[in-house]
Amino acid sequence: MPTISVDKYKLYEALGQKFTTEEFEDLCFEYGIELDEDTENEERPIVNGEQEPPQLKIEIPANRYDMLCFEGIALNLNIFRGRIPTPNYRVVAPKDEDQYVINVLPETAQVRPLIAGAVLRNVKFTKDRYESFISLQDKLHQNLARQRTLVSIGTHDLDTVQGPFTYEALPPRDIKFVPLNQTKEMNSEELMTFYEKDKHLGRYLHIIRDSPVYPVVLDKNKVVCSLPPIINGEHSKITLNTTNIFVEVTATDATKLEIVLDMVVTMFSEYVAEPFTVEPVRIVSDHNDSTRVTPSLRPRITSVEIDYLNSCTGLSESPESLAKLLSKMAYIAKPSDKDANILEVSIPATRPDVLHQCDVMEDLAVCWGYNNLPRTEPNRSATVGGPLLINKLGDIFRTEAAMAGWSEVMPLILCSHDENFAWLNRKDDGKTAIKLANPKTLEYQIVRTSLLPGLLKTIRENKSHSLPMKIFEVADVGFKDESLERRARNERHFAAAWCGRSSGFEIVHGLLDRLLLMLRTSFITREQAGKPDGYWIEELKEDTYFHGHAAAVHLRLNGKEQRIGEFGILHPSVLENFDLRYPVSTLEINLEVFL
Amino acid sequence: MATQNTPSSGDLPTQLLQALSIQSPLISSEAFPAVPALEIKAALDRLASRSMITYQTIDKEEIILEPEAEQIAAQGSHEARVFEVVRQALEGLTIQELETTIGDKTVANVGRGKAFKEKWIGKGKDGKLVATVDSIKDTTQTLLQQLKEGKSADARAVTDLKKRKLIKVQKVLNFKLEKGEKFALEMVKEETDLTSDMLASGAWKTANFKPYNFNALGADQDAGSLHPLNKVRHEFRQIFFEMGFEEMPTNKFVETGFWNFDTLFVPQQHPARDLQDTFFIADPKVGGKPEALVEGQDPEEYWQNVKEVHQNGKYGSIGYKYPWSADESLKLVLRTHTTSISTAMLYKLAAQKGPDGRPPPARYFSIDRVFRNETVDATHLAEFHQVEGVIADYGLTLGGLMEFMELFFAKMGITNLKFKPAYNPYTEPSMEIFSYHEGLGKLVEIGNSGMFRPEMLEPMGLPKDMRVFGWGLSLERPTMIKYKISNIRELLGHKVDLSFIKRNPAVRLEKE
């Protein structure tokens, strides 16, 4: 969730009321934003000899792009509190329409195919407004625009450039200009090197770096306005004194392009000489069917079912009352002439998060107040509860092991490749383990295929504990399985480890006997194997274990024979790998076979 | 064989009993001044545990004279001794003569200096030491003699003597003993335990049993134990069972992007699908398209519906309007939530028919491990447990969801919930659940809930009027609060302390 810092007393002034921190917190809670911090009583930084005024840090839900700046927060809260109506955002054609054109060249399709534009005329900037304008662009770049990959914004002093503009894609060497806040002209190849180490801009270079052509917005006289999504030109830089602003937005995603342009222009159209008006730009882009005039700013009209609104919220309000309530959330709603169950709802361009009538329904609940909604009996139908069988089986093993004096541990499911294989003297055949693509550390390379690494690491971390240590775990391991939709499956295992001055071999063996006895599975000798149901053990020669002191556990259940696990004294080299100084015996079996 | 006449600690109890038979009460230091106090105490404890005597400890501070002080008490202070010798020598004394006369170099030197300071002696014409006063008062000696006799003295003077290292203050244990209920002159042999031999022989009838020490812990049970997280999980499962919930098959760590995100109406460019947040699988890399969960289901239709609702909008939704990618949807990930399983359960439910021919109401829950590619710190691990509940029914209302949450959390002793509007891609309305925390003095978030979006439910084929509540919380957070753990790594994972696991008490969520 983005956090927006706003000047506390300027916001209160804009809301027409002073709040205590608690009162403002309550307002936020009711609306669905969150007051994260009030810096009034904190040490605030001193910038240019002046202490920063108290700030409110407000967390905004990730879908409310219209509240990512001071203007949006003030506007929406004022509408919510009934102080002002929803603004009527309008597109007003300029006098010299021909100038406000962006001609899109087909080459742009190779790198960043989409562009839109708008003009804010006779804007009155102050220092606060100017900073808010820059900060909004930054927030949009970070969130909705996914670090400028999907969308990026360029804003220019219109009086320094001349339309019509072109949006082109050129070889990097052919784009030469002085980048924003620089003095030296450079071509885009040099520019890439120049900004390589830049903390702020360096992270955007990759978006176009390897493309043979770079996107560029040029004016009539081939002045470079911007090299999206990296940087604007110094030439058309906006300042506090700028009054006419040319906004161009480039993108790879058409929907987000319109949303971003709408947000930038609606939020700041408040400061235009005729508030809430925006001048359009004509985009000529026949090659990809994108010729159009931007922005549209037309509200979206949708039909919302009245019985749906009322039944989901448990209300029984009249259409008129619903319409009045919804105005608090910036909707303009009126009952339909044709259908008594329909409310025609006009959704302003600032609310692209509204996709379905369920979004309107949620806002209705917010207008009413979540905590004031009528409570209803939650149990509409009787249902029958029950456990998952593998969990029920696992619980039998857990309780029996604990009753036998063992302690349950819960290590992690992810582990390093070495812990799962090399350290246990096991080989990876490449067909077994699920491997992660992007772990942040070595600890999370694979999904464990055995419970042993976790148990051994737990013993390692408990060196100061008295001996013997008797621990167990019942949990899932994971395997690759090409036959399944997810190409992987879980398997429930039981594993236990004994660590003491002597090996504890007979003790883990005894634990196996005890657990299987509790599952009505009886011990049979190898000679009897193949006749009655039961389990038997066979000497096992695997490098995980000390030779001659390990056994495979075999089970014959309903006539089906299989190896379900093994136990033994761990090989001294395994102990060394896990940094263990006392003998350890382990037992691990697969529980799925007992389902 | 050597006979021993001095009293040994072995028969000290008997000696004490004999002394007590003559005089009761008895003060131990008076009757047995030579026996160390600790030995006396051991003997008294043995007797008292048999109720043969009772005793009280008399704790006293005693002033002990150091050897130098003993000398002063007996012979006078150094300066007084010097004065006396000088006074007696009519002709005065040289320093050498003083030393010889006193016979102790230290006493002569220290005493001379002090006597000068007190102006008791001075130097005569010939440089010899002469007395300058007729008589003196040796206060140090008087004081030390008083202390030696056990008399009290001026506190300041005592402090001064302590500083001069002439005396030290020592705690002295002394006991006042009296006859007890079972007083006798001899100690009887006592049995520590009832044995089978005693039962067989009948010896138990006459045997004397040593009283049990009621101030000590019993024997260690070497007990097995369950992990606190699983104990809390058990409590949650009980709550769900009590409320008619069926446990979901969450034994799947790997999911396709389809089940983990797309079916939940999480757009493909959503930050949750970043490498920064989600573990992607390198091997195996790509999963398959959804398969039918119930015979007769058309998973291809579901796949297409999901694509449509994202890309172009459907079911009354305008959708996200972006080109939906099948490749992205088939990428395998470690599930980031168990909601992927809830989705599969609801998809299965959509194909079921109740008595009225429509999917029947259902309640599902799960508590299982989920994975996030987080940077590990005190409150974040790459793995944690999600507690999740789902209720599918017709005509559900938000008021019903809130009322259900009140019931659910009341079973954990959490009441007076507050609900805050929130955002979540797959629930609308979404509500964060808060409860007032007495300790912190503010509302704290305890869970998340909402109604699943129609864009998630209708592609499955669920009827439009079937509404579904979903809510979730982590298992670790309430467990950390319950067991007062501040670092999640001390709870989940191999860095847990085994002693903590062995000693963690029962959960009893309903008790504060």
Interface probe for B, chosen from A359, A410, A471 (most Cβ of B below 10 Å), is: A410
Cβ neighbors of A219 (< 8 A, separation 6 or more) are: A161, A162, A163, A165, A225, A236
Q: Is B483 on the interface with A (CB under 8 A)?
A: no
Could you list the residue range(s) of the whole structural domain that residue A554 is in? 389-594
At which residue do the structure tokens 């545990």 appear? B49
CB-nearest to A398 from B226, B394, B455 is B226
CB atoms within 10 A of CB B395: 14
| A311, A391, A485 ranked by CB distance to B291: nearest | A485
Query: What is the nearest CA distance from B341 to chain A, expressed in angstroms?
Result: 13
What is the distance between the alpha carbons of residues B458 and A510, in angstroms, rounded to a whole number? 54
**Residue B111 domain flag:** no
**pLDDT of B185-223, one tens digit each?**
887 777 888 999 999 999 999 888 887 888 889 998 889
Q: Is A361 helix (H, G, I), strand (E, B) or coil?
A: helix
In this structure, the answer to whether residues A177 and A58 fall within a common structural domain is no
Q: Which of B317, B322, B493 sits opposite A412 (nearest CB)?
A: B493
SS3 assignment, position B466:
strand
**From the list A62, A410, A439, which residue is nearest B279 (CB)?**
A439
Residue A487 lies in a domain: yes
The confidence score (pLDDT) of residue B37 equals: 82
Calculate the CA dihedral of residues A425, A429, A434, A435 and round it to 10 degrees: 80
The one-letter code for the residue type at B498 is L
B175 and B301 part of one domain: no
With CB atoms and an 8 Å threshold, state whether A410 touches B396. Answer: no
List of chain B residues whose C-beta atoms are within 8 Å of the C-beta of residue A401: 224
If asked whether residues B169 and B264 sit together in one domain, one would say: no
Question: Are residue B394 and residue B476 in the same domain, yes or no?
Answer: yes
Between residues 63 and 102 of chain A, which touch chain B (CB distance below 8 Å)? Answer: 63-64
Tell me what pLDDT residue A509 has: 96
Partner-chain residue, chosen from A405, A471, A492, that has the shortest CB–CB distance to B222: A405
Q: Are A289 and A338 part of one and the same domain? A: no
**Which pLDDT tens digit goes with each residue over B100-145?**
888 888 888 888 888 888 888 888 777 788 888 888 888 888 888 8
Residue A2 forms contact with B (CB below 8 Å): no
CATH assignment of the domain containing B59: 3.30.1370
Q: Does residue A377 lie in a domain region?
A: no
Do B186 and B246 have their domain in common? no
Q: Between B279, B316, B376, which is nearest A438 by CB? A: B279
Q: Is the same domain home to A179 and A43?
A: no
- Chain B closest CA to A379's CA: distance in Å? 8
Distances (CA, A) of A474 to A55, A407, B116, B191, B253: 51, 11, 89, 47, 16
Distance CA A591, CA B10 (A): 63
pLDDT of residue B483: 86
Q: Which of residues 425-444 of A touch B (CB under 8 A)?
A: 430, 433-441, 444
Assess if residue B313 is contained within a domain: yes
pLDDT reading at B9 higher than 50: no
Asked whether residue A71 falls in the same domain as residue A123, the answer is: no
The answer to whether A388 and A492 are in contact (CB under 8 A) is no
- HEC states along A499-563? ECCCCCHHHHHHHHHHHHHHCCCCECCHHHCCCCCEEEEEECCCCCEEEEEEEEEEEEECCEEEE
pLDDT class of B68 with cuts at 50, 70, 90: confident
Three-state SS annotation for A401-444: HHHCCCEECCCCCEECHHHHCHHHCCCCCCCCCEEECCCCCHHH
* pLDDT attached to residue B328: 96
Whether residue B142 lies inside any domain: the answer is: no
Interchain contact A408–B (C-beta under 8 A): yes
A478 vs B225, B254, B288: nearest CB? B254
Residue A514, domain member (yes or no)? yes
A541 and A402 share one domain: yes
The helix (H) or strand (E) run that includes residue B168 is strand B167-179
Compute the distance between CA of residue B123 and CA of residue B125 in angstroms, rounded to an integer: 7
- Distance (Å, rounded) from C-alpha A65 to C-alpha A28? 16
Residue A383 covered by a domain: no
Return the closest-CA partner of residue A370 out of A127, A26, A12. A26
Question: For residue A121, what are the contacts with CB-CB under 8 A and spacing of at least 6?
Answer: A94, A243, A244, A272, A273, A277, A279
pLDDT at B1: 40
Cβ of B455 within 8 Å of Cβ of A480? The answer is: no
Q: Can you tell me the distance from the alpha carbon of A247 to that of A272, in angstroms, rounded to the nearest whole number?
A: 14
Greatest CA span in chain A, whole angstroms? Answer: 101
Across chain A, what does the average pLDDT equal? 94
**A595 close contact with B: CB closer than 8 A:** no
Report residue B10's pLDDT band, with 50, 70 and 90 as the boundaries. Answer: low
The mean pLDDT of B44-58, rounded to a whole number, is 86
Quick check: B494 and A480 CB within 8 A? no
For residues B451 and A358, the answer to whether their CB atoms sit within 8 Å is yes
Q: Same domain for A421 and A552?
A: yes
Is A467's Cβ below 8 Å from some Cβ in B? no
| Whether A33 contacts A58, CB under 8 Å | yes
Determine the Cα–Cα distance for residues B233 and B420; give it in Å rounded to an integer. Answer: 26
Return left, alpha or beta for B153; rule: phi > 0 is left, psi -120 to 50 is alpha, else beta. Answer: beta
Q: Is residue A380 part of a domain?
A: no
Of A378, A402, A404, the CB nearest to B403: A378
Instruction: Clarify whether residues B173 and B278 are in a common domain.
Output: no
Name every chain B residue with its beta carbon within 8 A of the beta carbon of A414: 371, 382-383
Contact present, B370 and B383 (Cβ < 8 Å): yes
Q: What's residue A349's pLDDT?
A: 95
Provide the token pair at A425: 């003297």
Tell whether B345 and B289 lie within a shared domain: yes
Residue ending a domain, among B191, B208, B240, is: B191
Within a domain: residue B346?
Answer: yes
Q: Contact A355/B313 with Cβ under 8 angstroms?
A: yes
Q: Is A437–B237 a contact, with Cβ atoms under 8 angstroms apart?
A: no
CA A353 – CA A369 distance, rounded (Å): 20
Chain A contact present for B254, CB below 8 A: yes
Contacts of A437 in chain B (CB under 8 A): 275, 279-282, 285
Residue A376 in any domain: the answer is no
Q: Answer yes or no: do B173 and B234 share one domain.
A: no
Residue B475 within any structural domain of the chain: yes
Residue B431, CA distances (Å) to A16, A54, A77 in order = 29, 30, 19
Q: Which two tokens stand for residue B147?
A: 């202390």
Q: What is the pTM of this model?
A: 0.82
CB contacts of B403 in chain A (<8 Å) are 375-378
Do A408 and B227 make contact, defined as CB atoms within 8 angstroms?
yes
Half-sphere exposure of B222 (CA within 13 A, CB side): 7
* Contacts (Cβ under 8 Å, ≥6 apart) of B362: A383, B246, B345, B349, B390, B391, B392, B393
The closest alpha carbon to A167, from A18, A284, A256, belongs to A284
Task: Count the residues in chain B.
Answer: 512
Tokens at residue B243, please? 């409320």
pLDDT value at B439 more than 90 = no
d(CA A581, CA A589): 25
Task: Give yes or no: residues A179 and A210 share one domain.
Answer: yes
CB within 8 Å: B223 and A405:
yes
For residue B296, what is the domain's CATH number?
3.30.930.10
Residue A227: inside a domain? yes
Measured between beta carbons, the chain B residues lying within 8 angstroms of A402 are 224-226
Lowest mean pLDDT among A337-341, A376-380, B40-44, B398-402: A376-380
Q: Report yes or no on B219 lying in a domain.
A: no
pLDDT at residue B113, as a whole number: 86
Q: How many contacts, defined by CB atoms under 8 Å, are there between A and B?
A: 292
A95 plus A53 within the same structural domain: no
Pick from B146, B128, B121: nearest CA to B69: B146
The domain containing residue B173 runs over which residues? Answer: 9-66+165-191
Of B342, B332, B335, the C-alpha closest to B371 is: B335
| Residues A421 and A532 reside in one and the same domain | yes
A330 Rama sector, left if φ>0, alpha if ψ -120 to 50, beta otherwise? left
Phi-psi category of B124—alpha, beta or left, where left has phi over 0 and alpha has psi -120 to 50? Answer: beta
In this structure, what CATH number is given to the domain that contains residue A354? 3.30.56.10
Cβ atoms of A528 and A538 within 8 Å: the answer is no
Name the amino acid, one letter, at B123: K
Closest by Cβ to B455, choosing from A356, A362, A462: A356
Task: Compute the distance between CA of residue B126 and CA of residue B132 in angstroms, rounded to an integer.
Answer: 15
- B-chain CB neighbours of A378 within 8 Å are 391, 400-401, 403-404, 407
pLDDT in tens, chain A (595 residues): 889 999 999 999 999 999 999 999 999 999 999 999 999 888 888 888 888 899 999 999 999 999 999 999 999 999 999 999 999 999 998 878 888 999 999 999 999 999 999 999 999 999 999 999 999 999 999 989 999 999 999 999 999 999 899 999 999 999 999 999 999 999 999 999 999 989 889 999 999 999 999 999 999 999 999 999 999 999 999 999 999 999 999 999 999 999 999 999 999 999 999 999 999 999 999 999 999 999 999 999 999 999 999 999 999 999 999 999 999 999 999 999 999 999 999 999 999 999 999 999 999 999 999 999 999 888 778 899 999 999 999 999 999 999 999 999 999 999 999 999 999 999 999 999 999 999 988 899 999 999 999 999 999 999 999 999 999 999 999 999 999 999 999 999 999 999 999 999 999 999 999 999 999 888 887 776 557 888 999 999 999 999 999 999 999 888 888 999 999 999 999 999 999 999 999 999 999 999 8
Q: Identify whether residues A449 and A484 lie together within a single domain.
A: yes
Helix (H) or strand (E) holding B105: helix B105-117
A215, A167 Cβ separation under 8 angstroms:
yes
From chain A, the residues in CB contact with B332 under 8 A are: 486-488
Interchain pair B494, A454: CB under 8 A:
yes
Q: Are A357 and A414 contained in the same domain?
A: no
Residue ranges of B 96-135 with Cβ closer than 8 A to chain A: none
pLDDT given at position A524: 83
Contact (CB, 8 A) for B470 and B382: no
- Residue A164 belongs to some domain of the structure: yes
* SS3 of chain A: helix, strand, coil, percent, to 5: 30, 30, 40
CA B148, B149, B150, B155 torsion-angle sign: negative
Residue B272 confidence (pLDDT)? 87
- Shortest Cα distance from B214 to chain A (angstroms)? 27
CATH number of the domain residue A281 falls in = 3.50.40.10
**Overall number of domains in chain A:** 4
Residue B179 and residue B308 in one domain: no
Question: By the CB < 8 Å criterion, does B492 face chain A?
Answer: yes
> Which range has highest mean pLDDT (B70-74, B80-84, B338-342, B351-355)?
B338-342
pLDDT level of residue B4 (50, 70, 90 thresholds): very low
Q: A116-128 burial, b for 16+ CB within 10 Å, e for fewer?
A: bbbbbbebebeee
Domain count for chain B:
2
> Residue B2: pLDDT above 80?
no
Best B420, B435, B465, B475 residue to mutate vs chain A (most A CBs within 10 Å): B420
* Same domain membership, residue A72 and residue A32: yes
CATH of the domain at A439: 3.30.930.10
DSSP character at residue B504: P
Interface test with A, best of B329, B405, B408, B423 (most A CBs within 10 A): B423
Whether residue B269 and residue A146 make contact (CB cut-off 8 A), yes or no, is: yes
Residue whose C-alpha is closest to residue B481's, from B445, B449, B433: B445
Report d(CA B175, CA A418) in Å as an integer. Answer: 68
Same domain membership, residue B238 and residue B183: no
Over residues B209-265, the pLDDT tens digits come to: 887 888 889 998 889 999 999 999 999 999 999 999 999 999 999 999 999 999 999
Please indicate whether, in this complex, the C-beta atoms of A412 and B383 are within 8 angstroms of each other: yes
DSSP string, B249-273: -----EEEHHHHTGGGT--TT-GGG
Pairing of β B53-65 and β A545-557:
unpaired
Mark whether B490 and B434 lie in a shared domain.
yes
Q: What is the pLDDT of residues B486-495, one digit of tens each?
A: 889 889 999 9
Reply yes or no on whether the pLDDT at B434 is more than 90: yes
The residues that bridge with A177 in the sheet, in sequence order, are A186
